[in-house]
Amino acid sequence: MTEPLERLPDGTVKQVNPFTGTKVWTLPDRGARPMMRTLPTPLPLNPADHDRYCAFCWGRMLDTTPEIARLVRTADGWAEVRGLLAEELHTSVPEFRVIPNLFEILSYDYWHLSHGWHATAHSDARRTAYLSTPLGREQVSGLVRAKLLARGVPEAALAGRTFEDDMRDSIEFFASNHDVVIARRHYLDGATVDTQLSGSGTLSAEEHWQYVRFTIEAARQLYADNPFARYVSIFQNWLSSAGASFDHLHKQLVAIDELSVQTEREAARVREEPELYARWGEGYAAEQGLVVARAPSAVAFAGVGHRYPSIEIHSRNPSALPWELDDDQVRDFADLLHACHAATGVDVPTNEEWHHRPPSLDLRMPVRAVIKWRISTLAGFEGDTKIYVNTIDPWTVRDRVVVRLKELADEGALSPSVTVIG
Ligand SMILES: [Zn+2]
Distance from the alpha carbon of residue 360 to the mean position of ligand 1, in angstroms: 37
What is the per-residue pLDDT for 33? 55
Half-sphere exposure of 298 (CA within 13 A, CB side): 29
What is the per-residue pLDDT for 383? 76
Distance from the alpha carbon of residue 56 to the mean position of ligand 1, in angstroms: 5
Distance from the alpha carbon of residue 183 to the mean position of ligand 1, in angstroms: 9
What is the per-residue pLDDT for 38? 65
Instruction: Please check whether residue 404 is in contact with residue 347, taking contact to mean a CB–CB distance below 8 angstroms.
Output: no
What is the per-residue pLDDT for 397? 96
Distance from the alpha carbon of residue 52 to the mean position of ligand 1, in angstroms: 6
Per-residue DSSP letter, 194:
T
Half-sphere exposure of 418 (CA within 13 A, CB side): 32
Distance from the alpha carbon of residue 160 to the mean position of ligand 1, in angstroms: 34
Distance from the alpha carbon of residue 347 to the mean position of ligand 1, in angstroms: 16
Mean pLDDT computed over 85-91:
97
What is the per-residue pLDDT for 381? 76
Mean pLDDT computed over 141-158:
92
Please determine, looking at this structure, whether the domain spanning 5-32+199-382+390-420 carries the CATH number 3.30.428.10: yes
What is the per-residue pLDDT for 232? 97
Distance from the alpha carbon of residue 9 to the mean position of ligand 1, in angstroms: 49
pLDDT at 392 over 80: yes
pLDDT at 408 over 80: yes
What is the per-residue pLDDT for 261? 84
Phi, psi of 59 (to 5 degrees): -75, -10
Instruction: Please check whether residue 181 is in contact with residue 215, taking contact to mean a CB–CB distance below 8 angstroms.
Output: yes
Residue 385 pLDDT grade (very low, low, confident, very high; cuts 50, 70, 90): confident
Distance from the alpha carbon of residue 129 to the mean position of ligand 1, in angstroms: 28
Question: pLDDT of 356-374, one tens digit each?
Answer: 999 999 999 999 999 999 9
- 27-31, 162-166, 331-335, 394-398: the lowest-pLDDT one: 27-31
What is the per-residue pLDDT for 20? 86
Distance from the alpha carbon of residue 248 to the mean position of ligand 1, in angstroms: 5
pLDDT at 35 over 90: no
Q: What is the mean pLDDT of the chain?
A: 94
Residue 418 pLDDT grade (very low, low, confident, very high; cuts 50, 70, 90): very high
Strands (E), 118-245: 178-183, 231-238
pLDDT at 105 over 90: yes
Question: pLDDT of 273-283, one tens digit each?
Answer: 999 999 999 99
- pTM (predicted TM-score): 0.96
pLDDT at 247 over 90: yes
What is the per-residue pLDDT for 31? 53
Distance from the alpha carbon of residue 175 to the mean position of ligand 1, in angstroms: 25
pLDDT at 36 over 70: no
What is the per-residue pLDDT for 37? 57
Mean pLDDT computed over 102-114:
94
Rounded CA separation 329/315 (Å)? 7
Question: pLDDT of 51-79, one tens digit each?
Answer: 999 999 999 999 999 999 999 999 999 99
pLDDT at 39 over 90: no
Long-range contacts of 134-141 (CB under 8 A, 24+ apart): 135/62, 135/85, 135/86, 135/87, 136/66, 136/85, 136/86, 136/87, 137/163, 137/167, 138/86, 139/62, 139/66, 139/86, 140/66, 140/166, 140/167, 140/170, 140/173, 141/166, 141/167, 141/170
Phi, psi of 224 (to 5 degrees): -65, -35
Question: SS3 sequence, 228-282?
Answer: CCCEEEEEEEECHHHCCCCCCCEEEEEEECCCCHHHHHHHHHHHHCCCHHHHHHH
Could you state, in order of their start, the residue ranges of all structural domains in the chain?
Answer: 5-32+199-382+390-420, 50-178
Lay out the sheet containing 5-7: strands in order across.
Answer: 5-7, 13-16, 23-26, 387-389
Question: pLDDT of 153-174, one tens digit each?
Answer: 998 889 889 989 998 999 999 9
pLDDT at 420 over 70: yes
pLDDT at 146 over 60: yes
> Distance between alpha carbon 413 and the CA centroid of its chain, in Å?
21
